[in-house]
Amino acid sequence: MLNLERLRTLDAVARHGSVSGAADGLHVTTSAVSQQLSKLEREVGQQLLAKNGRGVRLTDAGLLLAQHAARILSQVELAQADIEAQRGQVVGEVRLAAFPTAARGLIPGALASLRAAHPDLLVRTTELEPDPGVRAVLRGDADLAIVLDWSNKRAPVPGGLERAHLLDDSADVALPVGHRLAGRETVDLVDFAEEEWVSWPEGEFCHDWLMFTLRSQGIEPRIGHLAGEHHTQLALVAAGLGVCVTPRLGRPLPEGVVFVPVRQTMRRHIYATWRTDAGRRPSVRAVVSALRAAAEAVPGAGQAVPGVAGAA
């Protein structure tokens, strides 16, 4: 009889491509992964892993068993969803991933309401950028992810996933208080043709969006600094080292920064996404409902908020 947890470990190695990646995805140590795989090899009587440089690769037998493991685990998850749906109770554990501003601006309110309404539900959260969040849901490492795209750069929904719209989040340009455009009620992107920009790290969806958006206005971006956190981006802006785009959701408010709306509307569409079969689970539906309620409670959503941060 094959052990389900050992099959889950093999599946994680196949999906992540390494023992360390599987350990991170399963939230266990690399030693625990190696022990489970060694026991699985003894159970099946065949070598499942082989050394590959400094890492490992699945043998032919390992690849074959990993394919069966993925199907078995999918059926187990479907059975669990059906049983939970039949009970109709919001219980168990839900793993929720969210990009940082959504984690700051939506998750605290949603989790507080869920704890009050469903005390037997445990929601575990982690911060992930949208693309890794989608991959985590597809792999089964997360049950739900909060993701985004932009009004002028949409992201497709991968097969096997569903999503629910939570809110539209406008963005402004952040300027140092002494900037020549800081007193404007609105600005055009072309006003910043010669400016240095503070952007998200290369390879992230929002960095690609910024490059696309500026170039669509005939601006060849001059990127001075890369930073993943809005706090860091705005600290660089406050120091006079560039300008940046800052969405309003969960916006930090440092001293010395002005937020000015842009005539070319910049708006993020924010969604919750989950695997189609997981949508049967009352717990998943409850989390989506709580996120929608938290999104409706976001103050000033869709309204212009110019002014000096921290001055009020």
Task: Encode pLDDT of 246-295 as tens digits.
Answer: 999 878 778 899 999 999 888 999 999 999 888 888 999 999 999 999 99
Instruction: Tokens for 80, please give them.
Output: 């669990």
pLDDT in tens, 210-222: 999 999 999 999 9
pLDDT in tens, 165-176: 999 999 999 999
pLDDT in tens, 22-63: 887 777 888 989 999 999 999 999 899 888 877 888 999 989
- pLDDT value of position 169: 92
pTM of this prediction? 0.72
H helix or E strand, kind and range, residue 207: helix 205-216
Instruction: Tokens for 234, please give them.
Output: 């705005």
pLDDT in tens, 92-107: 889 999 999 999 999 9
Q: How far is Cα 23 from Cα 32, in angstroms, rounded to an integer?
A: 8
- pLDDT value of position 300: 56
Question: In this structure, which amino acid lies at residue 204?
Answer: E
What are the distances in angstroms from CA 170 to CA 40, 97, 255, 268?
A: 51, 22, 21, 6
Q: At what angle do helices 60-87 and 4-16 cross, to 10 degrees?
A: 110
H helix or E strand, kind and range, residue 269: strand 267-275
- pLDDT value of position 303: 39
Q: How far is Cα 304 from Cα 312, in angstroms, rounded to an integer?
A: 16
Task: Report the range of poorest mean pLDDT among 32-46, 105-119, 294-308.
Answer: 294-308
The separation between CA 133 and the C-alpha centre of its own chain, rounded to angstroms, equals 4
Residue 236 scores a pLDDT above 50 = yes
The more confident residue out of 117 and 26 is 117
Which position has the token pair 């300008």?
A: 243
Q: How far is Cα 188 from Cα 206, in angstroms, rounded to an integer?
A: 19
- pLDDT value of position 285: 92
Q: Are strands 121-127 and 92-98 parallel, antiparallel or unpaired?
A: parallel
Q: How far is Cα 37 from Cα 179, in angstroms, rounded to an integer?
A: 59
Percent of the chain past pLDDT 70, that is, above it, reads: 94
pLDDT in tens, 149-202: 998 888 888 888 999 999 999 999 999 999 999 989 999 999 999 999 999 999
The more confident residue out of 311 and 88 is 88
* Mean pLDDT estimate for the chain: 87
- pLDDT value of position 295: 94
The separation between CA 95 and the C-alpha centre of its own chain, rounded to angstroms, equals 12
pLDDT band for position 235 (50/70/90)?
A: very high
- SS3 of 291, please? helix
